[in-house]
Amino acid sequence: MDNVYEKLKILADSAKYDVSCSTSGVDRKNTGKRGNAVAAGICHSWSSDGRCVSLLKILFTNKCVYDCQYCVNRRTEDVQRASFEPEELAKLTMEFYRRNYIEGLFLSSAVEISPDYTAERMLKCLKLLRFDYGFSGYIHTKIIPGVSQEILHEIGLISDRLSVNIELPSKESLGLLAPQKKVDGIFSPMKQITETLTERGFLRGPGTMFNNEVMVKEQGSVIPYKSRSKNKELFAPAGQTTQMIIGASAETDRQIVKISQSLYQRFKMKRVYFSAYIPVSDSPLLPNRFTQPPLTREHRLYQADWLLRFYGFTADEIADEKNPFLDLELDPKISWALRNIEKFPIEINTASLEELLRIPGIGTISARRIVRQRKFAAVRFDDLKKIGVVTKRAKFFITCIGRYYGGRDIAPDYIKKEILSADNIKMNLLPADKNVQISMFDIANPALESKNGYLIQSNLDIGNNINNNITTF
């Protein structure tokens, strides 16, 4: 296929299932070349479900020799196939960038011929982009499991962020649904990235696990790499992320949260993304095509992830052996509080910061504000709203100057009922036909092509983006 626009259409569409491309906090000023990557995050636009939209998210190729059951690009699926030439994609990215359609590139790929063959072509494209076209924008590159250490290293020197998808939450599921992928092929590159970042002083302490210093940096979008120096070769300064498919296999939420915790601890991941499985296959090993994607479950897992990273919870606390699945009706912090009701109520004026962070309705910012304010005067219940506390939740779990505001009883069933009715929680899933991520071409104006065959106009308004699911490398 020679037409670049046709390739773009196929390969941007094929990439839409990958969710692990949020922004990162890289800060790089324009140095006479083209583009900036700013600390506040390259992805300034977010879809309604919180996903970024201003990267060119694309596969290098969707010609895949693997046959992962959950993937629309698998070898045995009858879809249109295409591959970019390195020059084509480098040029296309620059065309988009110059027109302000994008602020960076998220480059992923299927496995054409072999991991090294594909990765070398991706590397060639990235080199052209960085060195020939002088592109200084953000680049997030997906690493193909099984790629050689040398190629990975070179890609890391050019990219801002790397990711290797863990894909499925257990070795058994991986063996069943993606038999060509090996656990070692996934963990080895993760380990290499972690070791290189550590050697270069870009990773210190517990990564993104609960840690006050890290929390402030993450929230303020400050560069987490103080030790960057002009003389150092930068290797993936925005660190690494990974993605897990949820609902394609039988693992419990407890298993998933425990794996996430281990990924944060072992590999110092910046993020672990979850991707609700949208059925695209008739494989008997997978949920049938009419199954609703588990979007609420995905949402609860993201909330659990937040508790792991910023609130000091452990995986065992979030989902224990008796409760291996997260409550779909309540966020995991409330669920934990109700299971541990004997720890409440907590007096706002004497609780430690760690205790405050465990109270439903109190976030990281409001917890710090409480600690600051009470140095000068006791915090009253009426002050809490101004501080940013969600009092309709917090009131069941706190006392203020000794007084309880949660009603007649501090009983889990009663509190749950009250919270659900106050929040008017409706567990509506989106209609099945909306549970797909739209393609930029679904709503695009007919794109105009310039004389050289590259896009000169396209509607990239993908703000109604609904959902992503499957991993494509």
Which residues are near ligand SF4 by CB under 6 A? 64, 66, 68, 71, 73-74, 110-111, 178, 471-473
Shortest distance (Å) from residue 71 CB to ligand SF4: 3
| 313 and 303 Cβ atoms separated by less than 8 Å | no
Q: How far is the CB of 74 from ligand SF4 (least distance, A)?
A: 4
Give the phi and the psi of residue 149 in degrees, each rounded to 5: -60, -35
Closest distance of CB 118 from ligand SF4, Å: 10
Q: Are 307 and 318 in contact (CB under 8 A)?
A: yes
Min separation Cβ 245 and ligand SF4, Å: 9
Q: Is 138 helix (H, G, I), strand (E, B) or coil?
A: strand
Which CB atom, from 69 or from 194, has the smaller least distance to ligand SF4? 69
Q: Could you give the count of Cα atoms lying within 13 Å of 246 in the half-sphere of its Cβ?
A: 30
Q: Report in angstroms how near the CB of residue 147 gets to ligand SF4 at its nearest.
A: 12
Min dist. Cβ of residue 111 to ligand SF4 (A): 5
Closer to ligand SF4 by CB, 173 or 399: give it.
173
First-residue to last-residue Cα distance in the chain: 22
Work out how close the CB of 87 gets to ligand SF4 at its nearest, in angstroms, rounded to a whole number. 23
Q: Which is nearer to ligand SF4, 192 or 471 (CB)?
A: 471
The DSSP code sequence of 210-273 is S-HHHHHHHHHT--S-TT--TTSPP--TT-EEEEEEESSS---HHHHHHHHHHHHHHH--SEEE
Measured from the CB atom, the residue of 8 and 71 that comes closer to ligand SF4 is 71
CB 443 within 8 A of CB 434: no
DSSP-assigned letters across all residues of 251-262: --HHHHHHHHHH
By C-beta, is 163 or 472 nearer to ligand SF4? Answer: 472
CB nearer to ligand SF4: pick between 207 and 293: 293
Q: In whole angstroms, how close is the CB of 110 to ligand SF4 at the nearest point?
A: 3
Q: How far apart are CA 144 and CA 163, in angstroms?
A: 9
Beta bridge partners of 108: 59
| Separation CA 446–CA 460 (nearest Å) | 12
**Least CB distance from residue 454 to ligand SF4, whole Å?**
25
Query: Within a 10 A sphere around the Cβ of 154, how many other Cβ atoms?
Result: 17
Measured distance CA(175)–CA(385) in Å, rounded: 51
> CB–CB of 454/4 below 8 Å?
yes
- CB nearer to ligand SF4: pick between 210 and 274: 274
The DSSP line for 394-414 is: HTTTEEETTEE-S-S---HHH
For residues 159 and 167, give the distance between their C-alpha atoms in angstroms, rounded to a whole number.
Answer: 21
Which residues sit opposite 58 in a β-bridge? 107
Burial label for 136, CB within 10 Å (0-12, 13-18, 19+), is buried
Query: Is the Cβ of residue 74 or residue 268 nearer to ligand SF4 in the bound state?
Result: 74
* Residue 9 or 74 with smaller CB distance to ligand SF4: 74
Q: What is the three-class DSSP state of 21?
A: coil
**Cβ at position 51, least distance to ligand SF4 in Å:** 19
Rank residues 42 and 122 by Cβ distance to ligand SF4 and give the closer one.
Answer: 122
Q: Report which of 112, 71, 10 is spatially closest to residue 280, judged by C-alpha positions.
A: 71
Nearer to ligand SF4, 68 or 193 (CB): 68
CB of 249 to ligand SF4, least distance (A): 14
CA angle 179, 181, 187 (to 5 degrees): 140
